[in-house]
Amino acid sequence: MYQIFDDVSSPGASGERVKALQRELKSRKLKGFLVPHSDEHQDEFLSPSAERLAWLTGFTGSAGVAIVLDKAAALFVDGRYILQAQAQTDATLFEVLQTPEAKASSWLTGKLGKGSAVGYDPSLHTIKEVERLTETLGKAGIKLEPVAANPIDALWQERPKPSSAPIVPHGLEFAGRSAQDKIRDVQTLLREEKADAVLLTMLDSIAWLFNIRGGDIRHTPVALAFAIVPANGRPTLFIDAAKVGGNVRGNLNEFLDIAEPATLMAKLTALAQSKARVRLDPETAPIRFAQALQAEGTKFVPGADPCVLPKAIKNAAEIKGARAAHLRDGVAMARFLAWIDEVGDSRKIDEIAAAVRLENCRRESGQLKDISFDTISAAGPNGAIVHYRPTTKGKRTLKTGSLYLIDSGGQYPDGTTDVTRTIAIGTPTPEMRRHYGLVLKAHIAIATARFPKGTRGQDLDPFARRPLWEAGLDFDHGTG
């Protein structure tokens, strides 16, 4: 099984961990510390060694930030995770607050006085994020202070080691373009925009550019790495050498250099000392790298990650692969739904049994590499927990007269799928039919909308909400 069903939350340990962190902050003369659900790459899903927020609070959702002060602590999450956060954290330790209504900056200014210093790990926060918070807190006389070493790392005695899963080549039959072609396009863009190099920090960009896949993050085929692409010359991939086997090293050596991640800062410093214009994406790059350049008297060149747009424009091979993957996955889903029709109201099937069955249906294709995320298999009221994950301890049985939600996907060599279905177990009630119909109207409104170029997703959001608003209802998360 690719999915595990253990309960990984440990709120009972939070009390001593919070106290230990508060003692550490006091020794560093800090009034508080920010603990985001984040890593050096701004991933939504993290490797076990980067799960600092879960270790401290017990909250295992994929988005949120905790703030620990000397006499108070709060966990900020969006509407997807409010129920989960309340269930997984100790209410005597953490005040759970919902964004965007509650703002971390407002909470801090209400708790701290002028002259207070709040620490943060510059490897875990983006340039823009720190700039915005610095400006807001500065008006109240509160200072954000970067720390050289994350205090949680010193306290986390049983912290897992970073993954060393091997990388593998992503074949041309799936990628559609060689890595050399993609690199040339990125370098052309850099020269046009008068940048000497770009630092890539997002793992999906690195995987796409160099046609490689990894296994450092569960259910996501990426490798923990950084890359510097110069406007002219060979890129450098900063990755643990243990991950680069003979099956891929020879190919990579044709067009890039491989270096250990520990050498990245020295390379960046050398670029700064040579007055190179280094491009960083302010929305995704950790501020640590901007600070390293500024320490050498060089400002970074702000600009979007140059892989994001071309990665989104799919070529013929990628489109073919996506269609094949979805057709293959559709067969698995059809078999699963037929099985649910047969046994769903037997009172013998629980959330885990259903998730296992679906994964096995996907495995029957012979091409499943992984699931694309932990399957959200939610019976009855658990369907209201947006990113619910069934556990052995808390699983529910599918029962007649209830709704069952299944949100899942598969990772295949040629594509990734993500599909959600809401299933009535037995005969749905009038209330179920009404709500299902309203959500269907919302979906149709988005699917049939026509809009001009440049329209933002947030501008289309009300199209989906209108049928629900008219019924006095809403959903507590974004549309998409």
CB-based burial label for 251 (10 Å; 0-12, 13-18, 19+): middle
- Enter the pTM of the model: 0.94
| Residue 145 CA to its chain's centroid (Å) | 25
CATH number for the domain whose boundaries are 11-155: 3.40.350.10
Delimit the domains of the chain by residue range: 11-155, 168-311, 316-427, 429-479
Q: What is the mean pLDDT of residues 223-244?
A: 97
CB-based burial label for 210 (10 Å; 0-12, 13-18, 19+): buried
> 268: helix, coil or strand?
helix
Q: What percent of the chain clears pLDDT 90, i.e. is strictly above it?
A: 94
CATH number for the domain whose boundaries are 168-311: 3.40.350.10
* pLDDT at res. 480: 74
Say if 11-155 and 316-427 have the same CATH topology.
Answer: no
Q: What percent of the chain clears pLDDT 70, i.e. is strictly above it?
A: 100
* Length of the chain (residues): 480
* pLDDT at res. 114: 95
| Residue 373 CA to its chain's centroid (Å) | 11
Residue 466 scores a pLDDT above 90 = yes
CATH of 316-427, one of 3.30.360.10, 3.90.230.10, 3.90.1720.10, 3.20.20.70: 3.90.230.10
Residue 459 scores a pLDDT above 90 = yes
| Phi, psi of 268, deg, nearest 5 | -65, -40
Higher pLDDT, 413 or 477: 413
Residue 95 scores a pLDDT above 80 = yes
* pLDDT at res. 394: 87
